[in-house]
Amino acid sequence: MSRQRKWVSETARRICSETGLSDPVEGAITLAESLTLEAKLDHPGQNLKALASYQGAKIQELAMDDAGRLIPIFQGDFDYLIQVNAEHPQPRKNFSVCHELGHTLMPNFLLAPAPRHDVVTMTWNTQFEEEFLCDVAAAELLMPRREFIPRLRGCGMLIESIKELAEEFGASLEATALNIVKANVEDVAVIIWEKDWNKSQRRGATGPSLFEGEDGFEPPPKAYRIKLATSCGELRNYHFPHNKSIQEDSLIYQAAETTLSVSGKQLLPIGGDSDREFYTQSMSFPIRRDGDLERRVFTIVQLKPHIQN
Ligand SMILES: [Zn+2]
């Protein structure tokens, strides 16, 4: 993706000139890597306070709407104050701290340090290049590739590895799953499924009382749909369309019913009305949304069956 992309921001341009690399994504990773190497920290996610203080930043947890904020202070022992949302789960706080540290690594930020307020972090939205590159840097700070890749090889490309590595590196399941694909050690895709309506059902369900009232109509049941899909290697030849649903007799639904992993060949949507069979491993994890406890399904997709070492 990054190689075909035309980068337009000053942030991207300056990262490339600072690092001598042509790809700002590689550049952002290199800047983050330099910080963890200089700070001599293994598993920085377990010791973010030390990583932050090495970069001259103090972390403060605060009740606020933003996920994270970076405030240049240049006072006393600290150059920056990083505020994170006290209500967020620890892995999310960790990522937000690393995202704000990411800002402090950006060469254009250093030229004119100004506050950054991030309503959300980990959006991976390439439209906002500085924010995207700070997410890239954050993933590297939290899960340095020199540690993450050997650990992933050790654990194997197994769905259980997502949870194991997430806990080890203090990252969320989602950030870890994305990092597994980014590590590019095997041709693989990761799909995250959540229960949702399609577009027109959502309009009906949230619009003016179409489904409620005297006529007894209920909103249609939600289906498991693709919320996020990312791939590397040969799996990049397949497009797993956002919000596309999957049949109730699929392994995805089976995984949603249990806490164990479910493996096997499974037809997956690949755009248009087409499906293709892939080797899959799926596992579901609880997620709280709008006060309700739901299950989110993670699927590792491969072209060949996984061979256990
Ligand atoms: Zn930001």
The pLDDT > 70 percentage for the chain reads: 94
With bands split at pLDDT 50, 70 and 90, how would you rate the model's confidence at 1?
very low
| pLDDT tens per residue across span 25-37 | 999 999 999 999 9
**Percent of the chain whose pLDDT exceeds 90:** 81
Please tell me the distance between residue 121's alpha carbon and the centre of ligand 1 in angstroms.
7
Count Cβ atoms below 10 Å from residue 273 Cβ, excluding itself.
Answer: 6
pLDDT tops 90 at residue 203: no
Q: Which letter does DSSP use for residue 115 in this model?
A: -
- Summarised one tens digit per residue, pLDDT across range 232-287 is 999 999 999 999 999 999 999 999 999 999 999 999 999 888 999 999 999 999 99
Q: Which residue has the higher pLDDT, 174 or 203?
A: 174
Confidence (pLDDT) at 5? 82
CA of 93 to the centre of ligand 1 (A): 13
Residue 308 has what pLDDT? 65
State the pLDDT confidence band at 2, using cuts at 50, 70 and 90: very low
* Helices 129-142 and 90-105, packing angle to 10 deg: 120
Q: Output the pLDDT for position 290.
A: 79
Contact status, residue 123 vs residue 74, Cβ threshold 8 Å: no
- What mean pLDDT, rounded, does the chain reach? 92
Q: What is the mean pLDDT of residues 77-92?
A: 95
Task: Write out the two tokens for 76.
Answer: 């006393």
State in Å: Cα 71 to ligand 1 middle.
Answer: 11
Residue 22 in this model has a pLDDT that exceeds 50: yes
Ligand 1 centroid from CA 76, angstroms: 24
pLDDT tens digit sequence for 56-80: 999 999 999 999 999 999 988 899 9
> Residue 13 and residue 196: Cα distance in Å, rounded?
39
> What local confidence, expressed as pLDDT, does residue 291 receive?
82
From ligand 1's centre to the CA of 256, what distance in Å? Answer: 33
At 152, the amino acid letter reads L
Separation of alpha carbons 243 and 225, rounded Å:
5
Going by pLDDT thresholds of 50, 70 and 90, the confidence category of residue 307 is confident
| Per-residue model confidence (pLDDT) at position 147 | 95
Q: Ligand 1 mean position to 125 CA, how many Å?
A: 11
| Helix residue ranges, H only, 215-295 | 251-256
Judged by DSSP in three states, 222 sits in coil
Residue 119 in tokens: 């309503």
Strands annotated E in 113-159: 116-118
Query: What was the pLDDT predicted at 42?
Result: 80
CA of 276 to the centre of ligand 1 (A): 38
Query: Which contacts of 147-156 are long-range, i.e. CB under 8 A and separated by 24 or more positions?
Result: 147/42, 147/43, 148/179, 148/183, 149/183, 149/185, 152/180, 152/183, 152/185, 153/185, 156/306, 156/308, 156/309
Amino acid 122: pLDDT = 87
CA of 119 to the centre of ligand 1 (A): 8
Greatest alpha-carbon pair distance for the chain in Å reads 67
Report the separation in Å between the CA atom of 100 and the middle of ligand 1, taken as the mean of its atom positions: 6
